[in-house]
Structure 1
């Protein structure tokens, strides 16, 4: 199965299945000499793991990471870093009723058509369980970016279903189980999701991710544009159906006189471009938003077919998130970190000796 590797110089190859013995990844291209321990990675995994509140799947996984290679005496060696996360709470019997049918909205049908075989236990390779290794790899990239360039990557839930969440403070994001930047809305969000669960249904979400202190100059023209690679990575996240950079689809209704971010000696006056111009970082914050579809695994019976093509009714039982967007925030942060580190290394390899006479313009001052 191809398509499991992200990046060119900083490469992350993901492996495993939802109900197999373990999942993990191999991270190749991390420069030597960076201090790295399991604790550096575990914090981000703990933010993503299931069972952290009643609003997410109650599958109980510690998501304890093991570093198998690439680190010696507490520092990266430059060799591939193998990360392993053992599965501990598989309940494959929950999926026995869909072994011979296709769940609407899932990859069951397309995997069957492509490979002629599929692991129906929890979705196998198509499960969101496989986002855990991505978060582990992203933790390495975040640490390197922070130490080398002062880059800080943060994300939050911006909308759940029809409930838009006004931004109040980054400090509030880690104070509630929704990654919401607005603690005052948490009771409303909780009641809303409780009602959705009682209806045996699900809702989608919008997640916003921002990278601060990104230097100008990262990215390549045309096909390897920084924004193109970010969109490519984000679309690799389960359930993502749309990606916006900066103003995104709002650009359709904006006039050019508004959308083009004016420059002054003091800095840019706005950031409709989302920190990327011509596929290259401008030095402003990188602004990304992703649209996540409603969870496909719901207990409402829906029409489908079985392996013989006969009509059936399918209702998915087991432990599932009524809104997969809640736990998507740490994953989106990790994906942005992986792409930025890859482009940082590529820029350093080709353009490390470039000196421009024009002084660097500060970021958004609006």
Structure 2
């Protein structure tokens, strides 16, 4: 379906070469100050044509609020957002009448619906993510004002070039290095969007960023493409978000991230590296913070334990495959089974990760927003009951910490 969320519900619409794309947001709290410009900042970070590292498609991606807001304040009713497609060229895709493009969704959409969009990727195009980014900007604005929550994503790798994250062990000893280096954890805790946007790659590690540029240009010059990863951190998230079983916080987060076009993998906290160190080293001992609350010493868990947030920074990484649209001739088969050669036209990104950064931030904001509304509904319902006096104190949080 095209809707995500339980209490904060986001429905996106539109194909890559139709008249417009956008979103309907249901469940946004009333009383939030909101104008077009509050949404436009993130859309402009996502838009094509930003540099020679992205597609040359020239879209302004200007957002228009259609409903749910009066005099710059949300009403609590559904918010309609519209962005016009202006620089669309459906004639660039005439070859898709005969060929299912390699690693695209042309063939699978045809199998599912018995019909497909005649140009571009239709709903599987990254153009669909405009609605997500617009909705995420609204969620993020509420989260920042109500809870002080910060969300920052950045490019952590392009091809085999990556920000140093850990020291690789040469053997299989139990004295293995930490799954995440102190330097990378410091970056996670301090990086800002200003740091990220200083470089066209959106990599805040400048030495690595320059190497990424050369790798992307090499792919572009070869009429090829290259993939990469985006790392994201969410700060100041309250503890208690997420459900114990099927709707664990990281499960909802993974669901949202893997719904983004071109994603192929998701990991949270120490991720796959956490499998390489013994439990005695990977466990998160509890410590007392300066404010007297409990925290964890290492945060290898990435801010989530038992599927529920623990008030530490939440950090995770998403893998984006190399873009499927390339200008090289490719040997493949037509819909009727006849072999042939496809030479794709159109405009495409040689690497999607620089433009994926605001998309990841948007989906993170939507997940946190939805989970906060769910948890606050539970807490409000519980607060109407008389105080619990029949259980041992160790089983119930003091009212001040609930």
Work out whether 1:328 is the aligned partner of 2:360.
no
Task: Select the residue among 8, 30, 33 that pairs with 2:31.
Answer: 33
Q: Cα deviations across residues 234-272 of structure 1 (Å, max 9, x unaligned)?
A: 010001000001111112112111222110123311111
Q: Secondary structure at the match of 1:249?
A: helix
Work out whether 1:73 is the aligned partner of 2:58.
no
Residue in 2 aligned with 1:363? none
Residue in 1 aligned with 2:99? 101
Residue in 1 aligned with 2:155? 157
C-alpha RMSD over aligned residues: 1.6
Q: Cα deviations across residues 123-170 of structure 1 (Å, max 9, x unaligned)?
A: 111100111110000000000000110000000000000111246653
Q: Cα deviations across residues 191-218 of structure 1 (Å, max 9, x unaligned)?
A: 2211111111111111001100001011
Residue in 2 aligned with 1:345? 373
| Structure 1 residue 358 displacement after superposition | 9.2
| Structure 1 residue 184 displacement after superposition | 3.2
Structure of higher CA gyration radius: 2
Task: Select the residue among 213, 217, 233 that pairs with 1:210.
Answer: 233
Residue in 2 aligned with 1:249? 272
Task: Select the residue among 173, 178, 183 that pairs with 2:206.
Answer: 183
Residue in 2 aligned with 1:201? 224
Task: Select the residue among 308, 311, 315 that pairs with 2:336.
Answer: 308
Does the 8 Å CA contact 1:172/1:183 hold for their aligned counterparts? no
Work out whether 1:269 is the aligned partner of 2:267.
no
Q: Cα deviations across residues 288-333 of structure 1 (Å, max 9, x unaligned)?
A: 1001100000112223222212112122222100111121110000
Residue in 2 aligned with 1:356? 397
Residue in 2 aligned with 1:227? 250
Does the 8 Å CA contact 1:9/1:29 hold for their aligned counterparts? yes
Unaligned 5+ runs, structure 2: 165-183, 290-294, 384-395
Work out whether 1:298 is the aligned partner of 2:326.
yes
Does the 8 Å CA contact 2:201/2:209 hold for their aligned counterparts? yes
CA distance in structure 2 between the aligned counterparts of 1:302 and 1:151, rounded to whole angstroms:
46
CA distance in structure 2 between the aligned counterparts of 1:122 and 1:150, rounded to whole angstroms:
39
Q: Secondary structure at the match of 1:57?
A: coil
For these two proteins, the number of residue pairs brought into alignment is: 359
Trace 1:9-24 onto structure 2 (pairs within 5 A).
Answer: 9-24=7-22
Q: What is the TM-score when the length of structure 1 is the normalising length?
A: 0.95
Does the 8 Å CA contact 2:8/2:28 hold for their aligned counterparts? yes
CA distance in structure 2 between the aligned counterparts of 1:259 and 1:188, rounded to whole angstroms:
32
CA distance in structure 2 between the aligned counterparts of 1:192 and 1:289, rounded to whole angstroms:
20
CA distance in structure 2 between the aligned counterparts of 1:246 and 1:188, rounded to whole angstroms:
26
Q: What is the TM-score when the length of structure 2 is the normalising length?
A: 0.86
Task: Select the residue among 275, 286, 289 that pairs with 2:314.
Answer: 286
CA distance in structure 2 between the aligned counterparts of 1:246 and 1:140, rounded to whole angstroms:
26
Task: Select the residue among 141, 145, 148 that pairs with 2:146.
Answer: 148
Q: Cα deviations across residues 20-55 of structure 1 (Å, max 9, x unaligned)?
A: 000001000001011010010000000110000010
Does the 8 Å CA contact 1:98/1:314 hold for their aligned counterparts? no
CA distance in structure 1 between the aligned counterparts of 2:102 and 2:331, rounded to whole angstroms:
8
Q: Secondary structure at the match of 1:54?
A: coil
Q: Secondary structure at the match of 1:52?
A: coil
Unaligned 5+ runs, structure 1: 361-366
